[in-house]
Amino acid sequence: MTARSFRLPRIPVWIWYMLPGLLVYTAFMAVPLFKSLQLSLYTGSGFQIDTFVGFDNYRRLLTEGEVSQRFWGAFGHTWVFFAVHMIVQNSLGLLFALLLSSEAIKGRALYRTIIFIPATLAIVVTGFLWKLLLNPQWGAVNLMLEAVGLGAFAQPWLGIEGVSLVVISLVSSWQWVGIPTMIFLSALQAISGDLFEAADIDGASSWTTFSRIKLPLIWPMMGVVAILTFTNNFNAFDVVFAMAGANGPPNYSSDILGTYFYRVGIAGEHPVGIPDMGLGAAVASIIFVVLFVGVLVMRTVFQSDGTDD
Amino acid sequence: MKTLRNALIALVLIGLVMPVFAGGQSESNAAAQGGGDVTEITFGSWRVDDVDQMNRLIAAFNEEYPNIAVVFDPTTPPDYNATLRLQLESGIAPDVFYARSYATGQELFSEGYMLDLSDEAYVSERYDDGARAPWQMPDGTQFAMPLVAVSHGVYYNQDLFDELGLDIPQTWDELMNVAQQIKDAGYIPFANGLADEWDIAEVVWMNIAPGFLGGRKARLAYEAGERPFNDDAMVSVFEAMASLTPYLPDGYQAINYNDSKALFLLGEAAMWFDGSWTISEFEASNPDFNWSVFAPPAPTADAQAITFHPDAGVAINPASDNIEAAKTFVEWLSGPTASQILGNELAGFFPMVADAPTLTNEHANDFLALNNGRDLDVRFPWPKLMNGDPSGYTLIQQGSINVITGNITPQEAADQMEAGLSQWYEPAM
Amino acid sequence: MAAVQVRGRRIGSHIILSVWSILVLIPLWIMVINSFKSKLAIYRSPFGLPDQWTLDGYLSVFSRSSFPRYFFNSIAITTISIAGIIILASLAAYAIARWKSRVSTAVFLFFLAGMMIPIRIGSINLLMILRNLGLLDQLIGLLPIYIAMGMPIGVFVLTEFMRTVPPELTQSAYIDGAGDFRIFWQIVLPLTRPAMATVAIFNLVVLWNDLWFPLIFIRSESQRTLMLGVTRLFGQYQTDWTLILSTLTVATVPIVLLYVLMAKQFIAGLTAGAVKG
């Protein structure tokens, strides 16, 4: 007791500045995360998760009938969801950034403002709005296709297996394209104008300027964007929930890890609604591991390539 | 320029805060009445659409019991089970609440979240054995008082049927024939779609199944393991589901329950499989719309059966601070005044009391009339097939969707049902 | 030759950018314009101006007793959480920037790890923690979670910013005999205001728009946030598009308007998570 009270003043003063934030962060973020890993080894009903079952929840998820079928489905769909964002959202972002970085374009500020608007909307709002627009009977999308003579392409977009997931991913890309645009734009604008002038004098084509000068300089930013896309997509839930529902219809084809986690660990399956929290925790732990490994891998990929040149 | 912008920002912020002050007024009106010592109890439910009707019911209650204020606090149906469970587990649940029948209710009772009502005289006196059964444990313990049942049928647009000179179909073949004529006339035969998933299971499959399977007796035989879940009758239900495909709206894969309602209300679709709970909504949104309802057609006319499903019971929260007041309210709900108001205010929800009141709502009576001379049963999977993984509900739902889209054959859907249920349902193993 | 090429390229750029702008604006236009139509008119003619303007949707949004409540709840929880994040994060950031040691670097990295790993994964345990604290189904229960959620980005942005504060400024104050806290309060904090704006805006958008935590923790009508209210309205038993579109518009307009007025700060805020190379 006395020893401790002697030591007290010796605690560096900065600890006291850090402590409140650190405590809240630890108690409500770090601890729940790690407890989730632990919880995944238990089973029970409702909040009484107290029977230790080892890796049984993981065995069920990875190998057992219906459960594993849903899990692997959701796992695969999450990668598709991620891939569409990487390809569509990030390429468009890069394209817009390249266009906007040219001094000669008038109205840059206006374009920039508009491109970024969707990013400020709530994901649920975007989801509900697009759900209405994609409605097969009254939705604007199909009516527009008909108006321009492409009525044959009108589809029940959210009702077809395989199509639905891609459409949802595209809507989500529509929403978030402003983020990579701005990141790339700030990287491009940081590139010194001298470089381009020099290239211009050398008579370099615009492709050469892009691939030889701009690309290597924004390569590290691509890493940032890729990691950001990755973490956001493996964590996604709202957009599928709003557009398709917690089951990821049709036939679970737009079910992603976020919706699966919600169904299994939190809400329970309709209409009985009894969650299996141990199994849910196992899903969460797998998401955790995928994110952790994925981010590490991406960091090395983009860092090493960036320093090679 | 800068001041202008700041002024605008300020304006937006004010706009943000304004509703807050506007909102203050609507708070406490429930406790305002009746001076003296007022006990307040909350009444949980999944009927978000019934707030006005329930408040009239509560007003009638307060004429007799001015000292018990009842606050009706509903949650949307898809969230109700999870919500209630969370509230019960964290000790903030309503004092009196709607109880789901069968497995979902039993689960809550066995965890201690419902008061045992076995000894309440009014429950056993005012309700038949059949009405009480859905809210009993296997040993007969009564965990909730029956309140209302819902019916199912096929809504149809009377004006359109008259215009096209169509008769009410009795058999499934006749239904298909009628559907074809409607389609030829340029209308959508059935308003139903697949997007929300629950409705294809609850209001289509479970609506028509008793007529194909052989009603209540057949369900008991399936449950006892005497009939396999992939016998010919079961296959024929899925065949009927598959035969609907050409008569659903364009883009039916993404048509949700709300779209279906709108298609039917706008007169674009001539028929709609649904339950009696939609009556009051239709009457409210388009009072001039001329519609009625017929019994779900079956393979033969005399095989027709109606799904008359025990929908809502009322349970008391044992952790309530006002159990006596809660009991008073629940007992009153079983009485004649309440039944009269329930049946007429909540058109489409039928009071389950033994001496049911006469109803004044025409559409509600249309539904009730379907019961005459037909076998009645509850929704097929509810009594026994819900409490496992995969549940009978999920198998019916996914099977229906997949046969309608042509992903699998009706035989495969029935086989999947047998295979899925035999994983956990003992009589089927 | 080259001039023609450049002009051609410029026109091409304009075409691409304006097509995308239209793609962004049309859905929003449809949302706003249809919210002024009557219930059935939306089905009959989803585009174009309404034949008859109606405010029914908006009137029922605000006359529904609970909607103003949702608004109030969202404003309250968002504001208080942001204040909490800024206070706690700037204290921690000051410590990390001011006292360099192995421990403070470790703490900094510990905070940064939170930027990569979504807190949602811990939801089941958060559910249990809140239950044990008796904070389930209470708006205030979201507060510690939102603060924890905002800490990583807050600490990161503020630390980076505080490191750029010239040491001469604090040193001279130190020599004048000012205490640590006074230096922090009177010198460092005022200088970090732009960074605080970034943190505030980032969290404003994230917290205002959050659905997940209200969805799993909040049940009662009186405790709901705006996004949860919107989701519930969209529930399965509703057919009223006018009401729903009015609701979506009401939920969206405040943030979008703020964004249009303060675009620069918003963009800085929302891309802040990625600034670190």
Concatenated DSSP letters of A169-214: HHHHHHHHTHHHHHHHHHHHHHS-HHHHHHHHHTT--HHHIIIIII
Given C65, C134, C236, which is nearest B78 (Cβ)?
C236
C-alpha C208/C-alpha C74 separation (Å) is 6
Q: Is A12 on the interface with B (CB under 8 A)?
A: no
Q: Give the pLDDT confidence score for residue A7 in this predicted structure.
A: 44
Chain segment C38-85, per-residue pLDDT in tens: 877 777 777 778 888 888 888 888 886 678 899 899 999 999 999 999
Give the model's confidence band at B10: pLDDT under 50 very low, under 70 low, under 90 confident, else very high: low
Q: Give the pLDDT confidence score for residue C2 in this predicted structure.
A: 60
Pair B156, B270: CB distance under 8 Å: yes
Top-ranked range on mean pLDDT: pick from B56-65, C110-119, C124-133, C236-245: B56-65
Q: Give the pLDDT confidence score for residue B15 in this predicted structure.
A: 55
Domain contains A29: no
Considering only CA atoms, give the Rg of chain C. Answer: 24
Answer yes or no: is pLDDT of A281 > 70: yes
Q: Is A130 on the interface with B (CB under 8 A)?
A: no
Given B26, B256, B265, which is nearest C65 (Cβ)?
B26
Instruction: Tell me the longest C-alpha to C-alpha distance in chain B.
Output: 82
Pair B69, B30: CB distance under 8 Å: yes
C-alpha C205/C-alpha A184 separation (Å) is 21
Beta bridge partners, A48, equal A45
Share of chain B above pLDDT 90, in %: 74
C-alpha B316/C-alpha C60 separation (Å) is 33
Q: Work out how many domains chain A is built from and give that number.
A: 1
Considering only CA atoms, give the Rg of chain B. Answer: 24
Angle (CA) B44 B48 B52, round 5°: 95
Pair C97, B45: CB distance under 8 Å: no
Look up residue B297 and give its DSSP letter. P
Pair A151, A189: CB distance under 8 Å: no
Pair B208, B296: CB distance under 8 Å: yes
Residue C112, burial from CB neighbour count under 10 angstroms (0-12, 13-18, 19+): middle
State the DSSP string of B124-157.
HHHS-HHHHGGGB-TT--B-SEEEEEE-EEEEEE
Q: Give the pLDDT confidence score for residue B368 in this predicted structure.
A: 94
C-alpha B398/C-alpha B381 separation (Å) is 14
Total residues found in chain A within this entry? 309
Q: Give B143 to chain A, closest Cα distance, Å.
A: 17
Answer yes or no: is pLDDT of A307 > 80: no
Residue B79 CB neighbour total at 10 angstroms: 21
Chains in contact with B, counting 3 or more C-beta pairs less than 8 Å apart as contact: A, C
Task: Locate the DSSP E strands across A235-280.
Answer: none
Q: Which residue has the tokens 């029970």?
A: A44
Average pLDDT over residues A184-211: 75
Q: Is A99 on the interface with C (CB under 8 A)?
A: yes
* Best CA proximity match to A248, nearest among A125, A159, A124: A159
Chains in contact with C, counting 3 or more C-beta pairs less than 8 Å apart as contact: A, B
List of domains in chain B: 39-150+309-370 (3.40.190.10), 152-307+385-428 (3.40.190.10)
C-alpha A237/C-alpha A233 separation (Å) is 9
Chains in contact with A, counting 3 or more C-beta pairs less than 8 Å apart as contact: B, C
Q: Give the pLDDT confidence score for residue A76 in this predicted structure.
A: 97
Pair B342, B57: CB distance under 8 Å: yes
Domain contains A64: no
Which residue segment(s) compose the domain that A87 sits in? 69-308
Domain contains A264: yes
State the DSSP string of A60-71.
HHHHSHHHHHHH
Structure tokens at A78: 């999450």
Average pLDDT over residues B105-111: 89
C-alpha B154/C-alpha B270 separation (Å) is 10
Total residues found in chain C within this entry? 277
The dihedrals phi and psi of B153, each to the nearest 5 degrees, come to 180, -165
Q: Chain B partners of A249 at a C-beta cutoff of 8 Å?
A: 194-195, 197, 401
Pair A133, C27: CB distance under 8 Å: yes
Pair B228, B428: CB distance under 8 Å: yes
Contacts of B130 (CB under 8 A, 6+ apart): none
Measured CA to CA in angstroms, residue C58 lies from B426, C64, C213 at distances of: 54, 10, 27
Beta bridge partners, B274, equal B153
Pair B215, B377: CB distance under 8 Å: yes
Q: Which residue has the tokens 């973490």?
A: A231
Q: Which position has the higher pLDDT, B220 or C219?
A: B220
The dihedrals phi and psi of B346, each to the nearest 5 degrees, come to -100, 70
Q: Give B207 to chain C, closest Cα distance, Å.
A: 19
Q: Which position has the higher pLDDT, A4 or A95?
A: A95
Average pLDDT over residues A197-214: 74
Residue A4, burial from CB neighbour count under 10 angstroms (0-12, 13-18, 19+): exposed
Q: Which position has the higher pLDDT, B330 or B26?
A: B330
Q: Is the dihedral of CA B290, B296, B300, B304 positive or negative?
A: negative
Chain segment A284-301, per-residue pLDDT in tens: 999 999 998 998 898 888
The four Cα atoms A204, A207, A210, A216 give a dihedral, to 10 degrees, of: -100
Give the model's confidence band at B396: pLDDT under 50 very low, under 70 low, under 90 confident, else very high: very high
Q: Give C56 to chain B, closest Cα distance, Å.
A: 14
Q: Residue C81, SS3?
A: helix
Strand B96-99 versus strand B349-351 pairing type:
unpaired
Measured CA to CA in angstroms, residue A4 lies from A1, A8, A17, C217 at distances of: 5, 6, 21, 40
Residue window 22-51, chain A: list those with CB within 8 Å of chain C.
Answer: 22, 24-25, 27-33, 35-36, 39, 47
Q: Chain B partners of A275 at a C-beta cutoff of 8 Å?
A: 82
* Best CA proximity match to C119, nearest among C214, C231, C212: C212
Average pLDDT over residues B163-173: 96
Give the model's confidence band at B378: pLDDT under 50 very low, under 70 low, under 90 confident, else very high: very high
Chain segment B238-259, per-residue pLDDT in tens: 999 999 999 999 999 999 888 8
- CATH code assigned at A127: 1.10.3720.10
Chain segment B220-239, per-residue pLDDT in tens: 999 999 999 999 999 999 99
Strand B152-157 versus strand B291-294 pairing type:
antiparallel
Give the model's confidence band at A4: pLDDT under 50 very low, under 70 low, under 90 confident, else very high: very low
Answer yes or no: is pLDDT of B312 > 80: yes
C-alpha A133/C-alpha A148 separation (Å) is 16
Give the model's confidence band at A10: pLDDT under 50 very low, under 70 low, under 90 confident, else very high: low
First to last CA, chain A: 60
CB contact under 8 A, B285 and C39: yes
A108-122, B143-157, C117-131: which range is least confident on average? C117-131
Nearest CA in chain C to B13: C254
Answer yes or no: is pLDDT of A62 > 60: yes
Q: Chain B partners of C261 at a C-beta cutoff of 8 Å?
A: 5, 8-9, 12
Task: Locate the DSSP E strands across chain C.
Answer: none
Given C62, C221, C262, which is nearest B19 (Cβ)?
C62
Residue B35 CB neighbour total at 10 angstroms: 8
Answer yes or no: is pLDDT of A31 > 60: yes
Residue B156 host element (H or E): strand B152-157
Domain contains A91: yes
C-alpha B239/C-alpha B236 separation (Å) is 5
Q: Give C136 to chain A, closest Cα distance, Å.
A: 13
Measured CA to CA in angstroms, residue A35 lies from A22, A119, A267 at distances of: 18, 33, 19
Answer yes or no: is pLDDT of B8 > 80: no
Q: Give the pLDDT confidence score for residue B7 in this predicted structure.
A: 63
Answer yes or no: is pLDDT of A260 > 60: yes
- Domain segments of chain C as ranges: 59-274
Superfamily for the C59-274 domain: MetI-like (1.10.3720.10)
Answer yes or no: is pLDDT of C275 > 60: no
C-alpha B26/C-alpha B145 separation (Å) is 32
Chain segment C143-180, per-residue pLDDT in tens: 999 999 999 999 999 998 888 888 787 788 878 887 88
Total residues found in chain B within this entry? 429
Nearest CA in chain B to C233: B76
CB contact under 8 A, C209 and A124: yes
The four Cα atoms A288, A293, A294, A297 give a dihedral, to 10 degrees, of: 160
